[in-house]
Chains A and B, each alone.
Chain A
Amino acid sequence: MSNKSFSSWYKSGSPWVWLNAGAVSVSLVMVVGLLLLIAVRGLGHFWPADIMSITYHDPDKKPMTLIAEAVETEVVTAARLQKVGVHLPEGQKTGERHLLKVGNRDYFGLDFLWINQLWVGETSYPKDLIAIERREWGNFYGYLTAVKQQGKVIATGDKVWNQLQVRLKRSNSLVAKIKEIEKNEIGKINHGLEELRLQKRQDELDGVAEGSLAYQQIEEERKQWNVQYQGLQKQLADLYAELNRDQIMVKISDGREVELPLAKVVDVYRPNAMNVGQKLAFYFEAVWKFVSGEPREANTEGGIFPAIFGTVMMVMIMAILVTPFGVIAAVYLREYATQGPMIRLIRIAVNNLAGVPSIVYGVFGLGFFVYFLGGNIDEIFFQAKLPSPTFGAPGMLWASLTLALLTVPVVIVATEEGLSRIPRAIREGSLALGATKAETLWRTVLPMTAPAMMTGLILAVARAAGEVAPLMMVGVVKLAPTLAVDNIAPYLHLDRQFMHLGFHIYDVGFQSPNVEAARPLVYATAFLLVMIIIILNMSAISIRNRLRETSKASEN
């Protein structure tokens, strides 16, 4: 073969085979590359990157020092650079440029900056550079110079770092305490007041005479709540005064010395001074904070716990709804319905519904569940609350129902497949022993089909977890102030809107004002979502494989 000419080699069809192989390679490279991209970008974000100090001589500006994290590097042609107002010296066709995260948005305006390699002077990594994670305005970089208490300098020089650690711990615990009061206790009072308002409105609707005992009681209770509220308010004022005690002084890259209130600081670290072990510890702590924390700054910082919670909760409710209905429909189609052209038609329709665009389900959910069903429920049960809707607005329940409808074909198809795999002998054996059809189903067939149902359910869950388009209409929001489960009766609030990982990606990636800063977070969220879905799918596949083996075994 090796001595053949090109034309005879071409005639043998080998190049075509290789081209087909090429298509597989391209697909594989794309799939694996995509997963790697998400993994590297998503996981890399939490690593405490070194901070550099660069002297930079832009000919149009005065020489300056930059303190920044490196983000990316690219090679650009001179023509493109010229378009953004950068003029390379004559004769140079391409230039290398770097994207830096300079932080300090409140002082510099922009926290990202493109610089050209050409004008970069000296680069160093001073050990005492600090990075500050703040509650607002993004990261802050600089040199720590002093710690202050009530405006008086407490520590300078070598002592600052330790002083800062102690005081930071204190301020963070104060913040946690304030949050606890604001969220739980004041939330409870607000809820109580709202209940009273509704009770009053209900009394009015029922025609209870004005000024009667019922109203007086409501008034009485309202006063009690108000007293409690005032108490908490005072407590909060004290805590805030405590919190605002400390400040730190930081020298930033342009030489200014800036005062930062410690209350606004989440964390301070010196990446250049950390060894690998410390960095690893920091890394895992950051991952944990991301997974368990609440979002800040229009979702572009902080954690994604509410989104994880919302996704899991919605998927769980959907699973509870979809399993019985899907299984019953499959049992009906396979076991009870008279097989004929009608059932064949229905089966094709059910199969096809799995391919109907999810957005169509969203439209249906919004029109039918939210406006029609929800609107009527409000009319009947929540009249006092009108015109503000309870179930007549997008919420957790409707989102779950919509997704249940979206995924029910998946469960039906999988369960039917499982049912069709049960050998006839088992059914007939059971019937011959005198069992009724229901008993046969319940005691022998369904237990054997359980893995197939499980497969269907897992596939349904995987699909539901990744679906975003329909949810945008029936209940997902950018920022849900409260979770669907809390400490106020009835503890489970299915009428509430919720956050969702997939929507979080869309929202932060495309609707946030500072996309550049939010991007790593989106990668991290995407990685989490991909992991969840791949694990779910893998387990569905492995269950299916095991199922095939056992069904083969039982046939023998």
Chain B
Amino acid sequence: MVEHSLQKSVLPAPNSPVAIRRRAWREFKDRLARYGVTIGGMSVIFAIVLIFFYLLYVVMPLFSGADIETKAQYDTKISNSTHLTLNEYNDVALTLDMQGKVEFFDANNGQALLDVKLPLPKQTKITSFSKGAATTGVFAYGFENGKALVFRQDYKISYPTGTTRKITPAILYPLGKNTLTLDAKGKPLRLLSVQSNAEQTTLIGLTPDNRIVLKSVIREENFMDEDASTTTEKTATIKLDQKESITHLQMDIDQRELYLADSAGFISYFDISKVDAPRLIQKIKGVPAGVNITTLEFLTGGISILVGRSDGQIDQWFPVRDTSNNYTLHNVRSFNDQQSAIIAISPEYARKGFLALDEAGQLAIYHTTAHRTLLVEPLGTEKNAVMAISPRANGVISMNADGQTKLTHIDNEHPEISWHSLWEKVWYESRDKPEYIWQSSSASNDFEPKFSLSPLTFGTIKAAFYAMLVAVPLAIMGAIFTAYFMSPTMRTFVKPTIEIMEALPTVILGFLAGLWLAPIIEGNLPGVFSILILLPVMTVLTAWSWTKLPRRFRESIPDGWEAAILVPIVILVGIVSMMASPALELWLFDGNMPQWLNDIGIDFDQRNSLVVGLVMGFAVIPTIFSITEDAIFSVPKHLTVGSLALGATPWQTLIRVVLLTASPGIFSAVMIGLGRAVGETMIVLMATGNTPIMDFNIFEGFRALSANIAVEMPEAEVASSHYRVLFLAALVLFMATFVFNTVAEIVRQRLRTKYSSL
């Protein structure tokens, strides 16, 4: 019978090959689905987690130190080199010595490329040598007859065979091939300093009789004819009346300042912006007794000087303007990671970093703004070594007195970032005190980037604070009423209305804040404050007079509709306050409240924190409202009923029972709201002036982390420090919101289990 029915069935018999095949196929599909879904699900979760790790991956290089690696090591026939330079591709180097030998050679193997015959005067000894700022590539020799020769290195780059680069080094003479008389008395130039640019060349020399001689050659182009130009010369002499011998003489790239260092450790600071009238501004003891100044170099940009000392310390000094507009030198920061006398300092061309070589052969890499020592490692050169850093700061060439040469690759991508430069007060060049500043880019090349995240984080906190100030009371109070007192009919309308605002694009809120609300608030400032004061007062007054209304009238509106009764009051208060605003302004604030605020010392911006607070508060209200409302509404009914039955008023029940039970939920609502306020971008971007200031004034703007990312990210060069710092800002936002949300989520889950156990 059984067999019979099976034969009649459309299904194959359980153990027939067809059935087995189908089962296997179904099992295969089941397994396929299992693995497919598992892999798919895991990869989606992985992708989400990837965000965090990718941000971290981009940020990490900021905090790694520098690395050096020897590229080539060889002997050359050059001996006693005085100065070296390296070109930007780390392939051609230049050596100069006190005999006037100037030679370009291949940096990778020491092969001579070009032996330059300088037009040196015959039978005249070279007594001094000077290099201008590294970026200009200018040099000068000073002679025993008080004359000097100025010349400049030049690299021509051509591509004769398509993509292969060919570099042709050359020496040019900005003032012609003739020597220039610097000291009219013809005394030897013991020390020399030179700077030259297209308009002006200045030479400063020191003679054995302690005179400093200055000469500027200024080229002025003719208005009518660009080729024709006239040159004027200006000269001056400073008579020094000191016994200590001058050891260093340095002029800045703009030919406006002159620094002298002497054997007693004094630094003299001269203003030479008027070449023919030099002026001593300050003479200051730069090192403690028993320590000598061994090197004196300018940091790129020519504002700071770096003083290398015999005890291995390096000090950064720059002139600081005091309140009476006088400049004085300040020792801004020191580096003491080296132990023996500093013999050479090579500033980087584009960044505020430098290399220092000490007597023990240790090479150190520093960055001034970040106050960071990136590396201290033996370079393996003996005494009397000279070195040069490449313009891209990725290579250094060093040579000892015997001509042993070493080309070293430097890996140092982000020296300007440190905990100090990101979060602490930094004393930037040309500033009168340490400050928090965010200024990531500028038009000029030797600009000191200011990457302090402090003002931005402050802005974010300020925005969140004022937003929460608006949102928390409104949302929580509103939620209490909606969940606990409101009539169900009204609740079905109110709750979705407020919740739908959560989906309102913030770009619209930002636009309204910036273009509609900000001008209204500026124009009606007294009105705005009168709303803030009048609203609660009028609400209580309305409530009180409501109890005085005839009972019949009161009963026509059932309990739980108070909010609806108050709507016209709210509108009325708003309209009356706005209309009364000019009158109030005339009465209390001389007719112009922003001006009045300015007069009493409170700055007023049109796009200020008040606007942001109101609008972002508005944006956060639905989030807090919705979660709080849920938490209060789901407080078990038997708790409230029990309390009421024992004779408590509804208000007492609410305060003592309901809020207490729901408080974790309210806390988590506030946390989630805070997370939203911290990360909000468009409102802060559009409703503030985006100036990174640190001031808690409600009438001023700020620049938030998120808005900063939105503004600067598209312009940041990929993998630059700026780019990575913006990623760091994103990571900070990510972590902050993630922490807020996680805390909120855990609290909420606890609450859920608590409710279910009640």
Contact = CB atoms under 8 A, between A and B. Distances in A.
Interface of A: 1-2, 4, 6, 9, 12-32, 34, 37-38, 74-80, 83, 93-94, 325-326, 328-333, 335-337, 346, 348-353, 355-364, 366-368, 371, 405, 408-409, 412, 436-439, 441-442, 462-463, 465-469, 472-473, 502-503, 505-506, 509-510, 515, 519, 522, 526, 529-530, 533-534, 536-538, 541
A367 B679 contact: no
Contacts of A408: 44, 48
A332 B523 CA distance: 57
A28 B561 CA distance: 13
B625 A27 contact: yes
Contacts of B1: none
B660 to A, nearest CB: 16
A506 B713 contact: no
Contacts of A510: 511, 514-515, 686
A18 B713 contact: no
Given A14-B651, A80-B592, A360-B679, A472 B710 contact: yes
A20 B477 contact: yes
B375 to A, nearest CB: 28
Contact of B706 (A335, A409, A469): A469
16 contacts: A2-B548, A2-B549, A15-B540, A19-B477, A22-B536, A24-B494, A25-B570, A27-B478, A28-B563, A79-B595, A80-B523, A337-B38, A348-B742, A359-B679, A367-B727, A409-B48
Closest 6 CB pairs of A and B: A332-B41, A357-B679, A13-B651, A79-B591, A466-B505, A438-B33
Given A23-B473, A363-B730, A441-B33, A18 B562 contact: yes
Given A6-B544, A25-B566, A441-B33, A468 B505 contact: yes
A363 B738 contact: no
A19 B40 contact: no
* Of B26, B516, B618, B733, most A-chain CB atoms within 10 Å: B516
Contacts of B548: 2
- Decide if the interface of chain A is mainly helix, strand, loop or mixed: helix
Most buried by B among A355, A505, A510: A355
B482 interface: yes
A12 B713 contact: no
B478 A23 contact: yes
A93 B591 CA distance: 8
Contacts of A367: 54-55, 58, 727
Interface in B462-481: 473-478, 480-481
B174 to A, nearest CB: 36
B544 A29 contact: no
Interface in B512-553: 512, 514-516, 523, 535-536, 539-540, 542-544, 547-549, 551
B682 A469 contact: yes
B512 A13 contact: no
A359 B40 contact: no
Contacts of A9: 544, 547
A352 B51 CA distance: 13
Contacts of A405: 47-48, 51
Contacts of A353: 48, 51
Contacts of A4: 547
A337 B549 CA distance: 63
B440 to A, nearest CB: 15
A395 B41 CA distance: 27
B551 A31 contact: no
A468 B652 CA distance: 45
Given A361-B51, A529-B505, A24 B482 contact: yes
Contacts of A515: 515
A44 to B, nearest CB: 14
Contact of A437 (B33, B38, B654): B33
B676 A329 contact: no
Given A15-B544, A20-B485, A503-B507, 18 more contacts: A2-B548, A13-B654, A24-B477, A24-B478, A27-B621, A28-B563, A29-B571, A37-B516, A328-B36, A356-B734, A362-B710, A438-B29, A439-B26, A466-B506, A466-B508, A468-B507, A515-B515, A536-B503
B682 A468 contact: yes
A534 B500 CA distance: 7
A410 B316 CA distance: 54
A436 B570 contact: no
B118 interface: no
Contacts of A34: 501, 504, 512, 618
Contact of A329 (B29, B44, B547): B44
Nearest to A78: B591
Nearest to B746: A348
Contacts of B565: 21
Interface of B: 26-27, 29-30, 32-34, 36-38, 40-42, 44-45, 47-51, 54-55, 58, 473-478, 480-482, 485-486, 494, 496-498, 500-501, 503-508, 510-512, 514-516, 523, 535-536, 539-540, 542-544, 547-549, 551, 562-567, 569-571, 574, 579, 582-583, 585-586, 590-592, 595, 618, 621, 625, 649-652, 654-655, 672, 675-676, 678-682, 685-686, 706, 709-710, 713-714, 718, 726-727, 730, 733-734, 737-738, 740-742, 745-746, 749
B30 to A, nearest CB: 4
Given A362-B713, A505-B511, A20 B592 contact: no
A502 B504 CA distance: 11
B515 A509 contact: yes
Contacts of B30: 436-439
A357 B733 contact: yes
B738 A352 contact: yes
Given A332-B42, A438-B29, A466-B504, A21 B734 contact: no
A391 to B, nearest CB: 15
Contact of B551 (A2, A80, A436): A2
A522 B174 CA distance: 59
Most chain B CB within a 10 A radius of its CB, from A31, A333, A348, A368: A31
A352 B742 contact: yes
Contacts of B746: 348
Contacts of B503: 462-463, 466, 533-534, 536-537
Contact of B567 (A1, A25, A468): A25
Given A18-B562, A505-B508, A473 B714 contact: yes
A162 B453 CA distance: 66
A248 to B, nearest CB: 35
A18 B51 contact: no
Contacts of A21: 481, 485, 539, 562-563, 565-566
Given A1-B547, A77-B592, A356-B738, A336 B582 contact: no
Nearest to B653: A13
A506 B536 contact: no
A541 B496 contact: yes
A93 B589 CA distance: 13
A38 B37 contact: no
Contacts of A20: 477-478, 480-481, 485
Contacts of B501: 31, 34
B582 A349 contact: no
B591 A77 contact: yes
A547 B504 CA distance: 24
Nearest to B491: A24
Contacts of A333: 41
Given A18-B562, A30-B618, A356 B679 contact: yes
A280 B340 CA distance: 89
A439 B542 CA distance: 64
B733 A359 contact: yes
A363 B727 contact: yes
B51 A332 contact: no
Contacts of B535: 22, 26
A537 B501 CA distance: 10
Contacts of B26: 436, 439
Nearest to A25: B566
Nearest to A361: B51
A467 B51 contact: no
